[in-house]
Amino acid sequence: MKDSNYLKEHNARSVWHPMAHPADSQANPPTIVASGDGVRITDIDGHQAIDAVGGLWNVNLGFSCQPVKDAIAAQLNELPYYSIFRGTSHPAAIQLAEELRDFFAPDGLTRAFFTSGGSDSVETALRLARQYHKVKGAPSRTKFLSLKKGYHGTHFGGASVNGNANFRTQYEPLMPGCHHIPVPYTYRNPFDETDPEKLAQKCLAALADEIAFQGAETIAAFIMEPVLGAGGVIVPHASFMPGVRALCDKNGILLIADEVITAFGRTGSWTGSRHWGVQPDMACTAKAITNGYFPFGAVMIAEGVAEVFEQDKTGKAAIGHGYTYSGHPVGAAAALACLAETKRLNLPENAAARGAQMYQGLLALKDRFDVIGDVRGGQGLMSALELVSDRATKAPIDKSRIGAVQEATYRSGTMIRVSGPNIILSPPLIVTEDDVSRILSDLATGLAAA
């Protein structure tokens, strides 16, 4: 490996980083990670830290999951690539589709359409939703509804249903026909409502109002994350997603669950939709499906939606969509090994227990540090702290102060993620009680530096 100074200099001159200002990586050089072991990473200067980000919410099994590495190596030797476009298939994709069918059976999802990642999964679901209505003879159903603060990747469709201005404004005009409704975010909302259940009802009323305003017969689908991730870990009240399902049913609108973060155990349940007792019409997955070791995703499709396509006699259901890497054999092999490990280790159980420990610890930190305005999470290993410069006015904290928290936490031994005014915590689902205690104590050291 080149030496540390070479890497820092050449990163600054040649690499453009996603989700960063190109000039920023010169002013604030990134941490260059050289290796990973268990739940820990080591940077090129030899500093070790617990990765409380879990890669990017995806390394659920940690960095040393040998069965997944072995499955990848074996598949590379057997068949490193073949497509599953019309006319060909391969054993790894078939076996994975069968495993996913079992895994998602309680969610009513029985068919898999493979993709290369989360944004691709969202794009696939949006496109299939429009096609579903065309096949069914309702071609006017083309619009999409979603939540403000929702994150659905960065393709044009996904960015259009995205509910965060930062991901939208510089790329407009986006896709027409995408409309957003208020999100059940108790800390800040236009209704000034702090009661989670009442807020959920108000947001559902706003959804009903938007459906009536647009005209149900113009709407293809509603897309939401069962627990919002990148928008700052927003856990809706238990009545919210079932309420959305009921409104979608009443109005002939498909419900797409964006489970890119929440599937495979992160919320403490096997899927986010299952946690809320909801069966979506499609579910987008990616990230932990391969533990981050290979870019891969799948859209899972409900039986009722699948039947409309499969019984079509008009030819409209021919799928004019797919990726070179849809069903990539190496990704499929990795996913099979990940599913087996996730089940063997019963990861949702650990995510629930360690998530509860994390949430209690974060609430205790709020008593110690005025800079914490809001603590969110409590649903598995997805948590966030929203930092403020003044609790009374809820004025967001300065970028430099939250940067200081991140740096001091990292120096203490824990990597955290900063997203706007939020600190996001989404460690691997294999973390132990000691790991969570360490994350909390490093975070306390970091918060003292704000």
Residues that bind ligand PMP (CB under 6 A): 117-119, 122, 151-153, 225, 229-230, 258, 260-261, 286
Q: Which is nearer to ligand PMP, 56 or 340 (CB)?
A: 56
161 and 146 Cβ atoms separated by less than 8 Å: yes
Closest separation in Å from C-beta 282 to ligand PMP: 13
Closest separation in Å from C-beta 280 to ligand PMP: 13
Q: Which is nearer to ligand PMP, 365 or 384 (CB)?
A: 384
In angstroms, what CA-CA distances link 119 with 62, 208, 262?
23, 27, 15
* Nearest alpha carbon to residue 112 among 92, 134, 131: 92
Residue whose C-beta lies closest to ligand PMP: 118
Closest separation in Å from C-beta 78 to ligand PMP: 26
Q: Which is nearer to ligand PMP, 12 or 56 (CB)?
A: 56
Q: Which is nearer to ligand PMP, 151 or 309 (CB)?
A: 151
Q: Which is nearer to ligand PMP, 122 or 255 (CB)?
A: 122
Closest separation in Å from C-beta 87 to ligand PMP: 28
Q: Which is nearer to ligand PMP, 71 or 261 (CB)?
A: 261
223 vs 147: CA distance, rounded Å: 8
Q: Which is nearer to ligand PMP, 258 or 435 (CB)?
A: 258
Closest separation in Å from C-beta 150 to ligand PMP: 8
Closest separation in Å from C-beta 12 to ligand PMP: 24
226 and 233 Cβ atoms separated by less than 8 Å: no
| SS3 sequence of the chain | CCCHHHHHHHHHHHCCCCCCCCCHHHHCCCCCEEEEECCEEEECCCCEEEECCHHHHCCCCCCCCHHHHHHHHHHHHHCCCCCCCCCCCCHHHHHHHHHHHHHCHHHCEEEEEEECCHHHHHHHHHHHHHHHHHHCCCCCCCEEEEECCCCCCCCHHHHHHCCCHHHCHHHCCCCCCEEEECCCCCCCCCCCCCCHHHHHHHHHHHHHHHHHHHCHHHEEEEEECCCECCCCCECCCCCHHHHHHHHHHHHCCEEEEECCCCCCCCCCCCCHHHHCCCCCCEEEECHHHHCCCCCCEEEEEEHHHHHHHHCCCCCCCCCCCCCCCCCCHHHHHHHHHHHHHHHHCCHHHHHHHHHHHHHHHHHHHHHHCCCEEEEECCCCCCEEEEEEEECCCCEECCHHHHHHHHHHHHHHCEECEEECCEEEECCCCCCCHHHHHHHHHHHHHHHHCC
Closest separation in Å from C-beta 158 to ligand PMP: 6
Closest separation in Å from C-beta 96 to ligand PMP: 18
Closest separation in Å from C-beta 120 to ligand PMP: 7
Question: What's the length of the chain?
Answer: 450
Closest separation in Å from C-beta 162 to ligand PMP: 9
Closest separation in Å from C-beta 27 to ligand PMP: 25
The single-letter code of the amino acid at 73 is A
Q: Which is nearer to ligand PMP, 44 or 289 (CB)?
A: 289
* Residue whose tokens read 């856990």: 235
Q: Which is nearer to ligand PMP, 117 or 373 (CB)?
A: 117
Q: Which is nearer to ligand PMP, 201 or 290 (CB)?
A: 290
Q: Which is nearer to ligand PMP, 130 or 152 (CB)?
A: 152
Which of 417-439 are b and which e, b meaning 16 or more Cβ less than 10 Å from the residue's Cβ? Answer: bbbbbbbbbbbbbbbeeebbebb
